[in-house]
Structure 1
Amino acid sequence: MTYGTTIRTGLIGYGLAGRAFHAPLIAAVEGLDLVAIASLRAEEIARDWPAARTADANTIIADPDIDLVVIATPNPTHAPLACAAIAADKHVVIDKPLALDVGEGAVVAALAADRGRVLGVFHNRRWDGDFLTVRHLLDDRALGTVQLYEARWDRFRPAIKPGWREQPGPGSGLLADLGPHLIDQALLLFGAPQAITADVLAQRDAAQVDDYFELTLDYGPMRAILSASTLAAAPRPRFAVHGTGGSLVKYGLDPQEAWLRAGKRPADPGYGEDDPALYATRTDATGTATRVPTARGDYRAFYAGIVRAIEEGAPPPVAPADAIDALRLIEIARESAAQGRRLALA
């Protein structure tokens, strides 16, 4: 397979992930050409991306002119579609999670390595502006030695939304949806924990799958608490980081998702810029509080990394091993919640 000026890309799935994230980001990154989309939403695709043809998943995977297949479908289909695409000698991007479990993820990763194909997992929240801000401050030890890290993702959705994410089945529930992002961020900052204590619940009256979780990651004297709720009308801080040199507290979600869901494009002015009213507050050891401007987030960095991985042999922007590590922690968290006790990592 050879590449000219562009990597011909086929997208499978045009629900929220395909429509709001992958299609506009692919189209915005130099070196990628969105040529085909597999979905039943042919009218939407023709309106949004008139240069892309509509096809089914099997046709995209079998097309010898397509170099990269992006999978943005329900979670149970991620691994089977990825394996089929890799077997057809395509490079692959999978929306998180990589697979339903560690075993499935390992099979996909091993096949990609064996066939010499790039496999990237869309843990796009590595490029949230608020997370980039936290990571920069921790790299600079601006808060001293961190002893408590809290990352929370709250929503207020008392009603059950239609769709597979809130219906019983493999890959459904809030931990499978938001857990990979929060865990991936914690692993980037602190590495693997020594143990996990987890609480995973269905709190809403009509909920059939988990809609709340709180994970406590044990790093010796330090704790990382990762939590999400669907019944928080007044959201808790997105990040609260406390160390021997002070604290950082940040409210509000990164603006990129809302921007893209509104139909705006990454090239539009203002993309990735946080509202100054939501800048973090840093309080130093003397009690003095200052505002910290949010770094500009940019999900395009993920796909720019995919281009480099395919064309130059660079490591993928999110390694499959990182995604498998996140899946492993989710599995241990579910077991901890089921047993009601702290579980050490082997």
Structure 2
Amino acid sequence: MKTIKTALLSYGMSGKVFHAPFLEMHPGFELTGSWERSKKLIQQDYPDVKSYGSLEELLADDVDLVIVNTPVDTHYEYAKKVLEAGKHALVEKAFTTTVAQAEELDALAKQKGLKLAVFQNRRWDSDLKTVKQVLDQKVLGEIVEAEFRFDRYNPNLSPKAWKEDNNPGAGILMDLGSHLIDQALYLFGFPEAVFADIRRLRENSQVDDDFSIMLYYPDKRVKLHSGFFVREGVPAYTLHGRKGSFLKQRGDIQEDVLKTGQKPNLEDWGTEPEEKAGFLHTEHDGELFRGHIPTQQGNYYSLFDGLYKSITENIQEPVTAEDGIRVLKIIAAAQQSSAQRKVVDLGAV
């Protein structure tokens, strides 16, 4: 089995929680180390790997794949250097801060014959996998309306300065919005138009922290919302079709379990509690059904396995640069829509 030597560009929460455990788990990856600027922590968890003192040192090493898991406003600069060094790249969301930056990286990767993927791990959440199953089974009939929400109750500013500084990569639209937009496009395709309302609600916030987006399709409307003032949650996924409805609260447990230090597996990993099962009310084959349905098992391992096969078999990345570009086009249109208080036609974007 070919080994893909992989390095991280930081070993904070994302490196420790979302990347290193799955690289360690997958037999095709070898974690070589991480660039660490101040705190030297990776060798506490992985004694045999390196703590690189600079990006140049990392890129000069025998590394095949680099995971760009730094603040969003650095993604373009670092991913470009990674590709120019002849390494494959996995870039966290949001892909870059502008469509033009993302398109340049995509062209560069193609020119050099390298793989460039976007880390949209929440396509492999138990919640979204269940929503996709319901859509694939067509038990709701033609979808006329859907609403996806990623809400929290946290009125306080983050202690992480880069999340609260007024820079192009900060704000809830770039952060949680990237997930919701990617999920909508993954399930329903690219819309015709966008309307958005983007706000700052927390005291002294310098970045957007609440948004509502409407995606216009010929046959349906898809609503997306995220904010920090939702103390009593509503369903994270609501789908209404011509035959029925499906409601699902957010229940994926992977992030919470990973934060405790537990290691992923291929058996019972990502199995959420039964009480969080989605509720289906529909008519199928002439009979009414109203009740809970089993939730699909979530596992971010599938993203890494897909990336491994993409590199070793030269097939499409699990989440492509083009996917990341489309998300950024929606973000740009949403920002324009909110600023001008009007619907933005995506044919003109």
TM-score (norm 1): 0.95
Cα distance in structure 2, aligned partners of 1:306 and 1:284: 37
* 1:268 to partner: Cα distance: 8.2
Counting only pairs closer than 5 Å after superposition, residues 150-169 of structure 1 correspond to structure 2 as 150-163=147-160, 164-169=162-167
State the one-letter code of the partner of 2:47.
Answer: P
- Alignment partners' CA distance in 2, 1:139 and 1:21: 28
Of 16, 36, 39, the residue aligned with 1:39 is 36
Write out aligned runs for 1:121-160 (5 A). 121-160=118-157
155 and 339 in structure 1: CA distance in 2 versus 1, 3 angstrom threshold:
same
Q: Does 1:255 align with 2:265?
A: no
Task: For 2:40 and 2:102, locate their aligned partners in 1 and report how far apart those are by CA, in whole Å.
Answer: 34
- Contact kept, 8 Å, 1:38 with 1:54, in 2: the verdict is yes
1:35 & 1:42 partners in 2: Cα distance? Answer: 17
Deviation, 1:287, is 6.7
8 Å Cα contact 1:196-1:215 kept in structure 2: yes
Q: Is the 8 A contact 1:198 1:216 kept in 2?
A: yes
SS of alignment partner, residue 10 of structure 1: strand
Write the letter of the residue equivalent to 1:83.
Answer: K
Aligned to 1:314, the other structure's residue is in SS state coil
Aligned counterparts of 1:311 and 1:222: Cα–Cα separation in 2: 39
Contact kept in structure 1, 2:126 and 2:251, CA below 8 Å: no
Equivalent in the alignment of 1:196: 194
The one-letter amino acid paired with 2:323 is D
Q: Map residues 164-243 of structure 1 onto 2, 5 A cutoff.
A: 164-243=162-241
> Hey, what does 1:117 align to over in structure 2?
114
Q: Tell me the secondary structure at the aligned position of residue 330 of structure 1.
A: helix
Partner secondary structure for residue 197 of structure 2: strand
Q: Output the CA distance in 1 between the equivalents of 2:223 and 2:251.
A: 17
Once the two structures are superposed, residues 224-272 of structure 1 have per-residue CA deviations (whole angstroms, 9 ceiling, x without a partner) of 0011011111112110101111111011241111111222111286421
Letter in 2 for 1:111: L
Checking the alignment, whether the CA contact within 8 Å between 1:76 and 1:99 is kept in structure 2 is yes
Contact 1:259–1:271 (8 Å) recurs in 2? no
Equivalent in the alignment of 1:97: 94
* CA distance in 2 between partners of 1:343 and 1:5 (Å): 47
Is the CA contact 1:36–1:53 (under 8 Å) kept in the aligned structure 2?
Answer: yes
Q: Tell whether the 8 Å contact from 2:2 to 2:312 is kept in structure 1 after alignment.
A: no
SS of corresponding position for 1:226: strand
Secondary structure, in 3 states, of the residue corresponding to 2:80? helix
Cα gap change, 1:41 to 1:296, in 2 (>3 Å)? farther
The equivalent of 1:58 in structure 2 is 56
For the aligned residue pairs, the C-alpha RMSD in angstroms reads 1.5
Q: In 2, Cα distance between the equivalents of 1:106 and 1:115? A: 14
Equivalent residue number for residue 24 of structure 1: 21
Asked whether 1:314 is paired with 2:312, we answer no
Match of 1:342 in 2: 343
Match of 2:9 in 1: 12
Paired positions, count: 342
**What SS class does the counterpart of residue 154 from structure 1 fall into?**
coil
SS in 1 for 2:37: coil
Question: Offset at 1:26?
Answer: 1.4
Mapped contact 1:154–1:228 kept (Cα < 8 A)? yes
Percent identity (aligned): 35
- Which residue does the alignment assign to 2:242? 244
Structure 1: runs of 5 or more not aligned: none
* Stretch moving more, 280-289 or 54-63: 280-289
Secondary structure of the 2:195 match is strand
Give the whole-Å Cα distance in 1 for the aligned partners of 2:117 and 2:50: 24
Cα distance in 1, alignment partners of residues 33 and 317 from structure 2: 23
Q: CA deviation at 1:206?
A: 2.2
Matched, 1:329 2:330: yes
Q: Normalising by the residue count of structure 2, what TM-score does the alignment of the two structures yield?
A: 0.95
Tell me whether 146-155 or 8-17 shows the greater mean CA deviation: 8-17
Aligned position for 1:267: 265
Q: Secondary structure at the match of 1:264?
A: coil
Report the CA distance between 1:114 and its aligned residue: 0.3
One-letter identity of the residue aligned with 1:21: F
